[in-house]
Amino acid sequence: MRKLLLTGTTLLVVGATSGQNPLAVPPLMTADTFHLVVAPSTKEFYPGWVTETYGINLPYLGYALELQQGDTARFKVYNQLNEITTMHWNGLEVPPVFDGSPPREIAPGGTWDVKYKVLDKASMYTYHPHTMDLIGQQVGKGAAGLLIVRDAEEAALDLPRQWGVDDFPVVVQDKRFNPSGQFINAPLGDSILVNGTARPFVECPAQVVRLRLANASTARYYRFGFEDGTVFQVIGGENGLLAAPAPMGRLTLSSGERAELLLDLTGMEGDSLLLMSYGSELPQSVPGSGNILWEGSALNGADFPVLRIRVTAPTANPVTTIPATLANVQPYPESSATVSRTKVIEGMGMVGDVGMFTINGAEWDMNVINDTVMLGATEIWEFVNLSNIAHPITMHGGAFYVLDRDGVPPAPWEAGPKSVVNVDVGDTVRIIMRFAVYATDGWPLMYHCHNLAHINMMMWQFIVVDPNVGLPALDAARIEVFPVPGDRITWRAPSPVAALRVLDLGGREVLHASGRGHTTGDLDLTSLPAGSYVLELQGLGTRTRTMVMRP
């Protein structure tokens, strides 16, 4: 078994290693309004290396934000980068206007006010930019944080919830550094960070503790387990608790997947455990395996340490037992679905952005709506992977349940509400999702591969339409067009515009232009004769018209 440790800029093959640096635990914050400042910074991950980073209120990563189900959460996002950014609330069901995915943009120096009711179950969610063409770079440099949602059902259970005492986030990333200590934007790294800490250890009391695992790597899959074979209990996934704990010795998480574990350390004061990733056990189809055809990394196919746990004295009021039952989990019955969709993933490529992948033959196009869903519908989405690599698939707009994988019901650990599911090569995975709360009203939602090196070419859009009102129209009172009359006009709309058409008064199209998913832009009318025209703005599921004149 190979075990790897980064020393300076060189990876060495060594024996079992102990953590050397105390695990950073982001402060858990509450607020009436969270002020999130996305800004450049620096951090010394290794002695003598000062790395340029992005952070959200911190030099690297961001605070953990505590939300209560049923409350209204408010945020003000400040962009202090020299490039556009945005903010997405990964896994949460929020109004699409606040989802934060393309085409939403926050200009450098700009701000964005967000407000939504917290509808989701207790779990650990994430927030991060979802900026077109910049998602991987911005998240990879550190612009991401945690959302800890509480609810009454979870609060009624005797679970560890003393943040940083018996309840710990474990956010795992692999990074690659150049000789000067700067991040290399690579799909696979050769250095492990946990909560931004290299070679970490954490002190845990000799009682039941909670580890909230998140695979926050660009592409790498991890197969987590303890070096001594200690069995842990999985109690939840991305979007909530399971019905009962699932005992496991190994847990594989794809990029973007999360899981909550309980670890019983009762009577182990003075001992230590080593959380490992067993890359040698990963199938050749997933990033992080020993597949020699893909981008190289010394961690590929290797068994390496992730986090050293040092067991200390128990706290004054320890949790000493693991509940036999957890949450009332009720997946949607398959019979309740009124629509089934099949999404065939095809193409050949690498772990990084080399190659091309499609769904049903379609590439990513921000001006195209790939699916239209009726508000209130329950649907089955079937993902068939005919490509040469595994893809973690995520749906925006809330939680889904896994129905089956190749006809086999989900394993107990993934039988709860989720928002990311791994679709391996040759697999057919069916999920069921209910679109019950929000129509999209001009702001589309995404489904995509959560490999951040693939995301710019593997994103597709859907809209949710209220069947009682039909397709929404852009609010003409909120559309601005000026100057009128004018040879070159500026337009502004409250939601993204995919295309603009100029019609003569007989209804014939005389000019066509792309809106590029923007909410503002310019249009040159100098090719048209003087006169009055109808300007039609076509949104993503919206359409409206107004009058313009060329003098």
Structural domain ending residue among the three candidates 274, 302, 324: 324
Read off the pLDDT band of 478 (50, 70, 90): low
- Residue 419 reports pLDDT greater than 70: yes
Whether residue 169 sits in one domain with residue 152:
no
- Residue 201 sits in a domain whose CATH number is 2.60.40.420
Q: pLDDT, tens digit, for every residue of 122-144?
A: 999 999 999 988 999 999 999 99
CA distances from 536 to 132, 299, 370, 465 (A): 25, 54, 22, 21
Residue that has been written with the tokens 């990563």 in this structure: 61
* Domain membership flag for residue 297: yes
Distance CA 32, CA 125 (A): 19
* Domain membership flag for residue 64: yes
* Domain membership flag for residue 26: no
Domain limits for position 99:
31-156
Looking at this protein, which amino acid is placed at residue 345? I
* Domain membership flag for residue 2: no
Highest-pLDDT range among 26-30, 348-352, 514-518: 26-30
> Taking a C-beta distance cutoff of 8 angstroms, is the pair 501, 508 a contact?
no
**What is the end-to-end Cα distance of the chain in Å, rounded?**
77
- Residue 13 reports pLDDT greater than 90: no
* Domain membership flag for residue 363: yes
- What are 378's two structure tokens? 């329950």
Whole-model pTM: value is 0.87
Whether residue 84 sits in one domain with residue 49:
yes
Residue that has been written with the tokens 């039988």 in this structure: 415
* Domain membership flag for residue 19: no
Contact partners, residue 43, CB within 8 Å, separation at least 6: 50, 51, 53, 55, 59, 60, 142, 196
Whether residue 318 sits in one domain with residue 212:
yes
Looking at this protein, which amino acid is placed at residue 276? M
The kind and range of the H/E element at 358 are strand 355-359
Alpha helices for 302-457 (secondary structure H) = none
Q: pLDDT, tens digit, for every residue of 328-352?
A: 999 999 999 999 999 999 999 999 9
Read off the pLDDT band of 504 (50, 70, 90): confident
Distance CA 26, CA 64 (A): 6
> Taking a C-beta distance cutoff of 8 angstroms, is the pair 312, 203 a contact?
yes
CA distances from 372 to 187, 237, 285, 461, 541 (A): 32, 28, 32, 9, 9
- What are 210's two structure tokens? 């909670």
CA distances from 163 to 28, 127, 212, 350, 448 (A): 7, 19, 11, 39, 32
Contact partners, residue 337, CB within 8 Å, separation at least 6: 378, 379, 380, 432
Whether residue 352 sits in one domain with residue 246:
no
Distance CA 241, CA 201 (A): 27
Whether residue 417 sits in one domain with residue 372:
yes
Whether residue 193 sits in one domain with residue 303:
yes
* Domain membership flag for residue 95: yes
* Domain membership flag for residue 25: no
Read off the pLDDT band of 11 (50, 70, 90): very low
- pLDDT mean across residues, the chain: 92
Whether residue 369 sits in one domain with residue 319:
no
Looking at this protein, which amino acid is placed at residue 255? S
Whether residue 395 sits in one domain with residue 249:
no
Whether residue 402 sits in one domain with residue 387:
yes
* Largest CA-CA distance found in the chain, in angstroms, rounded: 87
Whether residue 397 sits in one domain with residue 314:
no
Whether residue 198 sits in one domain with residue 147:
no
Structural domain ending residue among the three candidates 137, 156, 175: 156
Contact partners, residue 468, CB within 8 Å, separation at least 6: none
CA distances from 127 to 373, 433, 455, 536 (A): 25, 22, 16, 35
According to DSSP, the β-strands at 49-56 and 61-62 are: parallel
Distance CA 158, CA 139 (A): 34
Whether residue 313 sits in one domain with residue 174:
yes
Count: domains in the chain: 4
Q: pLDDT, tens digit, for every residue of 436-457?
A: 999 888 888 999 999 999 988 8
Structural domain ending residue among the three candidates 324, 346, 378: 324
Q: pLDDT, tens digit, for every residue of 195-238?
A: 999 999 999 999 999 999 999 999 999 999 999 999 999 999 99
Distance CA 443, CA 464 (A): 9
